[in-house]
Amino acid sequence: MKKALAVMLSLCLACLASGCGPAVTRSRDESRPLTLNIASYFSGEHAAQTYQELSNRFAEDQGIDIVDSSTLTGDAFTQQIINDFAAGNEPDVFYFPVGDAQTMIDNNQVVSVQEICREYPQYAANIQSSIMDDLADENGNNWCVPVIGRYQALYCNVSLFETYGAPLPHTWGDLLSAIEIFKQNDVIPIAMGFKDQTALWVDQLILSYGVDEHEASPTDAADVPTTWNQALAQLVSLEASGAFPSNALTSNRSTALTLFNTQKAAMYLDFSDSVSSISIPNTVVASAFPCRAPHSGEDHLIIQVSYGYYISRKTWENEALRDAAVSFVMYMSSSDAIAHMNEDGGGYPTILLESLDPISGQGTLAQSALSLCRRAQAHYSMKERLSRLAWSSLVAAVEPIIQGYGSIPKTLDQLAINNRAPK
């Protein structure tokens, strides 16, 4: 039966003009209750609460029951979904890591976005095309609709910057000036814990030293960009110059975040899921880590988009459930829903960012995060391109390099060799 796009959900009726996503009509016996089984994964109290509110509103408006009994997180959640599919007890819609769905895809247990779009042309139409392209398989097929990713930002305590007259780090020169000013005033410039933050600093500095070179995936020593050597040398220099806490080599992310929250450190580099742990959001702004020439003054972000909504094949072949499942995903990927999911600025919206408006009453940090995501050019982490062996060997080599018994050239030569391993 031909499907058609129809009325908005009641939540979105008031904001048709603002880009909220449409629902689809269902053709079924309305006297019989319809139940949609959802499996979701959302970490963080705010995200979980917001997801539940949106889900409840959708269910109430559509007059259906939504059953989401998900209680697990992390690897346990992933394994449970895999087990459910193996047992023929799969959910109708599930929010799942992209890299772990291959077995279901191979077994024809999920339906592609392209197949869905043949009947529902507006399905996933508001998602950034660059993100969909990056998530496509080798045949150009997409299997899920992403809604929220994460971005890497330099969080700055503007109160400390104003107190000591330090420039916000829009350029590399600004960053170095700010570091020196804070050092002179006994403020830790950048909170850092090498024990679990080395990877993001390596990734960030390599991007900052060469936006184009960051995209490389060398398998020969001669092909390793020179900017990678310079970036690692800069990390050594920053540590030696006192940009980080004196105990940074033995500290972790939690310790670094505490220094930032207690205003003993002026800056903090991390992924956006740390936003919920920043206890001083009204004195903090999210900034892009500055780039060096020729990209000085430009905003570039490292992002990760690794989860999305899938629809099972079994549900797709059930006409009544098909409509409900498609409608649910379209609603949860609408600008209104994503804006609410990202109310605290802790995620990277996957939709066309010009359609995303700030939530009324958003604080300083959330507003700056949305502005940053809108204007910055996004890049995927080196981790996505390098083999697992190459990436892990690079990160592991940083501490020996900083302590003086490791070699940057040898590390990068070995990285190229290790990058020949399977991804």
In this prediction, residues 78-90 reach a mean pLDDT of: 92
Inside any domain, residue 365: no
Domain co-membership, 14 together with 81? yes
Please state the pTM of the whole predicted model.
0.86
Residue 262 lies in a domain: yes
- Is the pLDDT at 8 greater than 70? The verdict is no
- CA distances for 149 relative to 53, 229, 297, 377, angstroms: 20, 29, 24, 14
Q: pLDDT value at position 356?
A: 67
Residues 21 and 170 in one domain: no
Residue in this structure with the two tokens 């604080």, named with its chain if needed? 363
pLDDT for 209 equals: 97
Q: What percent of the chain has pLDDT over 70?
A: 89
Asked whether residue 322 falls in the same domain as residue 291, the answer is no
Residue by residue, DSSP assigns 151-162 as EEEEEEEHHHHH
The pLDDT tens digits for 93-123 are 999 988 889 999 999 999 999 999 999 999 9
Residue 46 lies in a domain: yes
Q: What is the mean pLDDT of residues 317-327?
A: 93
15 confidence band (pLDDT: 50, 70, 90): very low
Do residues 173 and 242 share a domain? yes
Cα separation, 327 vs 145, in Å, equals 13
Position 423 pLDDT exceeds 90: no
| Lookup result for tokens 């002179």 | 184
> Is residue 163 located within the same domain as residue 97?
no
Distance separating alpha carbons of residues 96 and 241, to the nearest angstrom: 43
Q: Given this model, what pLDDT does residue 257 score?
A: 97
In a domain, 66, yes or no: yes
Tell me the CATH number at 114: 3.40.190.10
Q: Does residue 108 share a domain with residue 38?
A: yes
> Residue 178 has what pLDDT?
98
What per-residue confidence (pLDDT) applies to 48? 81
- Whether residues 185 and 275 share a domain: the answer is yes
Residues 56 and 186 in one domain: no
Answer whether residue 13 shows pLDDT above 60.
no
- Give the model's confidence band at 69: pLDDT under 50 very low, under 70 low, under 90 confident, else very high: confident
pLDDT at 166: 98
Q: What range defines the domain where residue 79 resides?
A: 10-146+305-333
Question: Does 358 map to a domain?
Answer: no
Cis? peptide before 146, omega within 30° of 0: no
Residue 391 has pLDDT above 90, yes or no: yes
Domain assignment present for residue 138? The answer is: yes
Q: What is the pLDDT of residues 202-211, one digit of tens each?
A: 999 999 999 9
Question: Is 160 in the same domain as 220?
Answer: yes
Long-range contact pairs involving 338-341 (C-beta distance under 8 Å, separation at least 24): 338/147, 338/148, 340/50, 340/53, 340/54, 341/47, 341/50, 341/51, 341/54, 341/147, 341/148
Q: What are the Cα distances from residue 48, in Å, to 44, 144, 282, 332?
A: 6, 20, 23, 13
Residue 301's pLDDT band, with cuts at 50, 70 and 90, is very high
Flag whether 369 is in a domain: no
CA distance 213 to 226: 9
Is residue 366 assigned to a domain? no
Q: Give the count of domains, the chain.
A: 2
Q: For residue 17, is pLDDT > 80?
A: no
Provide the pLDDT confidence category of residue 27 given band limits of 50, 70 and 90.
very low
Same domain for 83 and 171, yes or no, is: no
